[in-house]
Amino acid sequence: MQNQILAIDIGSSKICAIIAQKLENDEIKIIGTGISKSQGLKKGTITNIDLASRSIKTALNDAKRVAGTNINKAIVSISGAYTKSVNSNGIVNIPNKEITIKEINRVMQTALYNANIPHEYEILHVLPYNFKVDDQENIEDPLGMNASRLEVDVHIITTQKSNLFNLKKAVRSAGVDIKNVVLSGYASAISVLNKDEKELGVAVIDMGAATSNVVVHLGNSIRYNDFLGVGSNHITNDLSMALHTPLSVAEKIKLEYGSLKTTKNEIIEIPVIGDENNTHEVSLEIVYNVIFARVEETLMILAKSIEKSSLKEQIGAGVVLTGGMSKLDGIRELAVAIFDNMPVRIGKPKTVEGMFEDLKDPIYSTAIGLVLYGAGEFTQYEIDSNKNLRHRSEEFQSEKMLQPTQDNITETTQEQESSEMEELTKLPNEEKVGLKTNISKFFRWITQLF
């Protein structure tokens, strides 16, 4: 049981539960899968806890039955809806001149403390993207290094407390405890990206049924994330209104004839909405125009989002599209044109032992990413949704070490004050007076916070 992983991807169109076994050689084997239609969700958020809980339970029971196990702790995805992100910075002195896990945790907690997260928001991830040891920047892993000062830049992802509470309540009502909550875009990135793409910089766009999640991954970590409440279901709605046909028929037309490449001007017969016994004829050209207009608009908004990140020039590996909407014929070519000729590819989940053919589909990128996250494939260091520090395949669960306590912050402040005063003694006499006054004011302000 200890080496088993339960991942639950809670999407707007489907709930996917996967049970995997971590083998002795650290490889992963999928031993059970359950999929159910989503109920009680809209645009990635819970709108009816009871209905959502039933959908989760259905998928979970199917996975348990196939796996023959009764695992009850899950890693769960959360949509990018109602999330906010902020970058922050932390700095600590190293009294023993050697950087340990304690110092890494302390500097990340200091960065989190400095961020001043609004009361109504809860932490999902604190992801470091740049460590600085003394005056040396872009340190990949500072653990074990000799230094007198450690600094870090972090990307903090938060979500509204009410949104997180409703998700947790729905999952727990299905009879499962939550081990971790993971941003769906983060999980998708874990699933579809290779090492070179992460190093060069890449944008991952997960285009689902009702939402599109964007993350920009540079070097060691996610640097930007965004959310758009548009997905492939909007194409179905557009077709239903434009063709005056029921949603179920519009969905079939999308799947059978959906293309972003020029189609022949063929005629098809479809039922009339409200009077399904009668049919009328429509041209496939209309179908093409409706789909093209929606996808083009969606990609243009996503392109603006990447522009807004101010990281576009650093995205050397281009864009990876994944999720159900990415399967539309011709979407890669259209994306290349809209994203200013950046490289674009369709991302499928990494292959895991025990995956049946259907799980290799882009719609399961998030679910497979959750499994990989549970197996230890995450950012080098991370403070997770439980405020625990994760490091590679190890989890450090000591609450005393990991929580941002009064003692930790006070210790950091005292070290910084000592360092600042040491620097002060090296200044010319005429500069000391003004600077000493400013430092005194600063530390009086720090003291008042506690």
Q: For the beta carbon of residue 70, count every other beta carbon within 10 angstroms.
A: 9
CA angle 85, 90, 93 (to 5 degrees): 165
Contact 391, 31 (CB under 8 A): no
DSSP string computed for 80-97: STTEEEEEEEEEEE-TTS
Cα dihedral: 434, 435, 437, 438 (round 10): 120
Contact 260, 297 (CB under 8 A): no
- The segments of the chain whose pLDDT lies below 50 read 393, 395-450
Contact 216, 222 (CB under 8 A): yes
Which residue type is seen at 397? Answer: Q
Q: For the beta carbon of residue 57, count every other beta carbon within 10 angstroms.
A: 20
Q: For residue 268, which of 281, 257, 258 has the smallest C-alpha distance?
A: 281
End-to-end CA distance of the chain: 43
367 φ, ψ (degrees, to nearest 5): -60, -45
- Separation between Cα atoms, residue 355 and residue 360, nearest integer Å: 7
Q: Could you give the angle at which helices 232-243 and 247-257 cross, rounded to 10 degrees?
A: 110
Q: For residue 116, which of 164, 84, 93 has the smallest C-alpha distance?
A: 84
Q: What is the pTM of this model?
A: 0.86
How much is the pLDDT for 442?
A: 46
Helix boundaries (H) for 309-381:
331-338, 365-374
How much is the pLDDT for 351?
A: 92
Please give the structure tokens belonging to residue 302.
Answer: 């996503």
Regarding beta strands 136-139 and 149-160, do their DSSP bridges make them parallel or antiparallel, or are they unpaired?
Answer: unpaired
42 φ, ψ (degrees, to nearest 5): -145, 125
Q: How far is CA 50 from CA 46, 53, 76, 169, 171, in A?
A: 10, 5, 17, 9, 10
How much is the pLDDT for 394?
A: 53
